[in-house]
């Protein structure tokens, strides 16, 4: 244990220090799931001035049930209505780190977060740190991406606005159908839609088939439906129900790992 700690301090952290002023998101996390160093760019995203403040706080993904940690990360987005789904999100984040630290595999995923009245999406890669054939920690790299084609122009509206919105020519749609149409018209495939909505791909396929009927599209053609949804303006309006944190993975084994363990 002492040898591992010395390796982290004298090799991993020492080699990371020259990077702390770089403008990218990266962190080193030990086997206690604590951030031991990160770029100051990362620290400022959490509301700190520098990485030393994060280390002194002992921020760890194992504290996924800690309301103070949740408030620190999500700020005004953390409230009585959102707190359960935020703690669930933090738990999945912990499971992703646990997977890397126990399985020793490199993973990538998309982390979607409501933050400062914007929906921010990050492509995250986590890689294990190996010392003498043992996993001693992990390193994360994150890049902000536009998950939705028109992310900069999104307008959030409440569920009650659906039926009267000026863009929508199709009536009698359920809230779930609005969600699917928004995501389809922003270029997401059925697998990603299923993960965002927390349902099976078969459920999404059924919804798409029913929507094709409403849009007078023969059979079940998600591409034609996406085009029709775009032409009807669904891409411009994000249903309020989608304003939530979400993790998207493309690996089936990893998806099962984080989705079938209860908090």
CATH code, domain with 91: 3.30.450.20
Query: Can you tell me the mean pLDDT for 221-229?
Result: 93
Q: Tell me, what's the pLDDT at 23? A: 96
Residue 166 above 50 pLDDT? no
On whether both 21 and 141 belong to a single domain, the answer is yes
Q: What would the DSSP string read from start to end of 86-140?
A: HHHHHHHHHHHHHHHHHH---EEEEEEEEETTEEEEEEEEEEEEEETTEEEEEEE
The SS3 assignment for 37 reads strand
Could you tell me the two tokens for 210?
């029913």
**Angle, vertex CA 184, rays to CA 239 and CA 77, nearest 5:** 30
Compute the half-sphere exposure of residue 146: CA atoms within 13 Å on the CB side of its CA. Answer: 9
254 domain-assigned = no
Number of domains in the chain: 2
Same domain? 155 vs 138: no
In-domain check, residue 255: no
Is 219 part of any domain?
Answer: yes
Model confidence pLDDT, tens digit, residues 194-204: 988 989 999 99
**Element spanning 2, H or E:** helix 2-7
| Predicted local distance difference test score (pLDDT) of residue 163 | 46
| pLDDT at residue 130 greater than cutoff 50 | yes
Q: Are 125 and 145 in contact (CB under 8 A)?
A: no
- Based on the fold, state whether residues 128 and 42 are members of the same structural domain: yes
Is position 57 within any domain?
yes
For position 62, what pLDDT does the model report? 96
Highest mean pLDDT among 138-142, 159-163, 215-219, 225-229 belongs to 138-142
Residue appearing with tokens 């770029």: 39
If we measure between CA atoms, which residue out of 118, 115, 85 comes closest to residue 196? 85
Q: What is the pLDDT of residue 108?
A: 96
Quote the pLDDT of residue 35.
Answer: 97
**Alpha carbon separation from 6 to 59, 125, 131, 240 (Å, rounded):** 20, 25, 11, 48
- Same domain, yes or no: 108 and 37: yes
> What are the angstrom distances between the C-alpha of 63 and each of 57, 68, 89, 93, 148?
12, 9, 12, 11, 30
Q: Token match 């999406």: residue?
A: 121
- In the chain, the percentage of residues whose pLDDT exceeds 70 is 89
- 222 and 134 in a single domain? The answer is no
Spatial CB neighbours of 103, under 8 Å, sequence gap ≥ 6:
none
Least confident of 63-72, 118-127, 155-164: 155-164
* Domain containing residue 191: 151-242
Of the pLDDT bands very low, low, confident and very high (cuts 50, 70, 90), residue 164 is very low
Task: Give domain status of residue 260, yes or no.
Answer: no
Can you tell me the mean pLDDT for 79-87? 88
Do 205 and 120 share a structural domain? no
Kindly report the average pLDDT of the chain as a whole number: 87
Assigned domain for 228 exists: yes
Residue 115 has pLDDT above 70, yes or no: no
CATH of the domain at 206: 1.10.10.10
pLDDT at position 213 is 93
120 confidence band (pLDDT: 50, 70, 90): confident
């Amino acid at each position: 244990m002492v040898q591992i700690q010395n390796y982290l301090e004298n090799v991993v952290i020492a080699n990371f220090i020259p990077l702390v002023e770089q403008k990218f998101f990266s962190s080193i996390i030990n086997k206690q799931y604590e951030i031991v160093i990160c770029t100051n760019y990362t620290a400022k995203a959490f509301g700190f001035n520098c990485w030393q403040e994060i280390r002194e706080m002992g921020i760890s993904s194992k504290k996924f049930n800690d309301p103070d940690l949740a408030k620190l990360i999500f700020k005004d987005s953390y409230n009585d209505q959102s707190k359960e789904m935020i703690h669930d999100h933090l738990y999945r984040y912990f499971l992703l780190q646990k997977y890397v630290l126990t399985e020793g595999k490199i993973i990538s995923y998309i982390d979607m977060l409501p933050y400062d009245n914007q929906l921010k999406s990050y492509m995250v890669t986590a890689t294990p740190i190996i010392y003498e054939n043992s996993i001693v920690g992990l390193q994360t790299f994150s890049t902000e991406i536009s998950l939705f084609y028109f992310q900069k122009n999104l307008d959030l509206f409440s569920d009650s606005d659906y039926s009267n919105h000026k863009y929508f020519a199709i009536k009698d749609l359920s809230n779930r159908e609005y969600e699917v149409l928004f995501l389809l018209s922003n270029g997401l495939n059925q697998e990603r839609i299923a993960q965002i909505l927390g349902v099976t791909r078969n459920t999404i396929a059924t919804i798409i088939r029913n929507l094709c009927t409403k849009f007078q599209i023969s059979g079940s053609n998600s591409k034609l439906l996406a085009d029709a949804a775009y032409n009807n303006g669904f891409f411009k309006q994000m249903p309020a129900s989608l304003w939530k944190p979400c993790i998207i993975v493309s690996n089936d084994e990893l998806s099962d790992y984080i989705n079938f363990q209860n908090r």
